[in-house]
Amino acid sequence: MSSVPTIHGDVAPGFEGVADEFRRNFARRGEIGASVAVYRGAEPLVDLWAGTRNTATRAPWERDTTVIVYSTSKGIAGLAIAAAVSAGVLDYDAPVAQYWPEFASHGKASITVRQLIDNQCGLHHLRGRKIRTADLSDHDLVDSVLAEQVPAWEPGTRQGYQAISVGLYEDALFRRVDPKGRSLGAFVREEFATPLGVDFGYGLAADRDIEEVAHPYMSKPLGVLLHERSIAWPIVIGTVTGRHPFIDATSNPPMGPAWTIRRRSVLDQEIPSINGVTNARALARIYGAAAADTGELPISTRVLELITGDAPPPRRDAVLGIDTRYHLGLRRSSPRLQFGSPDGRAFGTPGLGGSLAFGDPSTGIGFGYTVNRLSLALEDEYRCKKLQAAVDEALTAQPGTTGQPGTRRPPA
């Protein structure tokens, strides 16, 4: 059993089991640094952090430490699209070309917004001109590359994970419909993060110190043997051999290995699909506001009902090689990725390495988990599952209660 760092933060009465599992993640499951939070609407139920953000300097993971959350970034982008739909400037079932005429080239005229954000268009591999990370701030260049893409299959007939490209497409579309012409990242900052008083951004502002962002670490071989569950072996082996569709989906723009993207060349850009920089508190707060429909986000009740309503069943993903379930730019619970209440209405996204954020309208909670040890699991990451189970147990034991925020649970 490894040494256990001091667990910092607060839990509401009845949620002590979440703190216990968080502690076990460090003692038994190879955690390095992490945060976990749960909000019911605007009410904090769990807010915990512990560990190390930089193993070389032994800098501690502090209350406001942020980390890159990889694809967990996508869910917040999906909520921004929902806000545009709520404002009446975007329609999920309208052709993308209605808002972006150049997009229609090469057989894309009939692709709807819904199909684009739900990975159904065969636009996972950006062919042709290579986009450098430095090019990402050149919207004209990036948008022209996106518009010139040819779908890999007839749109709507298959789905395949658009690991990086989906965020670029969402941003290009959002800039065309936002009345102020804002990027998706600027909108999230101004309409989500600032009003809620949380730290979430795509990339890192130039005036912020990159040392505020925790270092990500790959799992070491012994750690894989001791701590990993549900390893995505096809992708791991395919990445090593250079032969897997996932490589195509992450090759343009080239990001490099996941544990190396904490660098200014990446964080100087806004990439809504992969470079969200945040902490568990911010994710839980945003999703809690959406799940409980508190009115704090510019998303209408009608659109929230669409997000939490009937969703397509899981389908085989042509890129990931597993069954996945997308709905309106977010993920929904499925046998391979289970989160939220059994009714399946919860919505959110996992991220490479183990992070997860979701909202559950059946309980009104938002959940966030951020880490810097990157696991090899593709879905249902073990450390996160243990925390979710503890949250579920607490909610089941206290039906209809609201808890008492700010109650200190002294570390054992």
Per residue of the chain (412 residues), give pLDDT as tens: 457 899 999 999 999 999 999 999 999 999 999 999 999 999 999 999 999 999 999 999 999 999 999 999 999 999 999 999 999 999 999 999 999 999 999 999 999 999 999 999 999 999 999 999 999 999 999 999 999 999 999 999 999 999 999 999 999 999 999 999 999 999 999 999 999 999 999 999 999 999 999 999 987 765 665 566 666 656 666 666 666 777 888 888 988 888 999 999 999 999 999 999 999 999 999 999 999 999 999 999 999 999 999 999 999 999 988 899 999 999 999 988 999 999 999 999 999 999 999 999 999 999 999 999 998 777 789 999 999 999 999 999 975 543 333 333 334 3
The candidate with the shortest Cα–Cα distance to 351, out of 117, 75, 27, 131, is 75
Q: Name the one residue in this structure whose structure tokens are 């001091």.
A: 6
Whether 325 maps to a domain, the answer reads yes
In angstroms, the CA 96 to CA 170 distance is 10
Which residue, among 97, 338, 55, 54, has the nearest Cα to 209 in the 3D structure?
54
- Identify the pLDDT of residue 231: 62
Residue 261 forms part of a structural domain: yes
Longest dimension (CA), the chain: 61
Q: What total of structural domains would you count in the chain?
A: 1
Domain span at residue 175 reads 1-215+233-412
**CA-CA distances (angstroms) from residue 238 to 125, 159, 241, 242?**
16, 20, 5, 6
225 inside domain: no
Q: DSSP per residue over 335-381, as a string?
A: TTB--S-TTS--EEEE-TTS-EEEEETTTTEEEEEEESEE-SBSSS-
What is the CATH classification number for the domain harbouring 280? Answer: 3.40.710.10
Amino acid in position 226: L
In a domain, 6, yes or no: yes
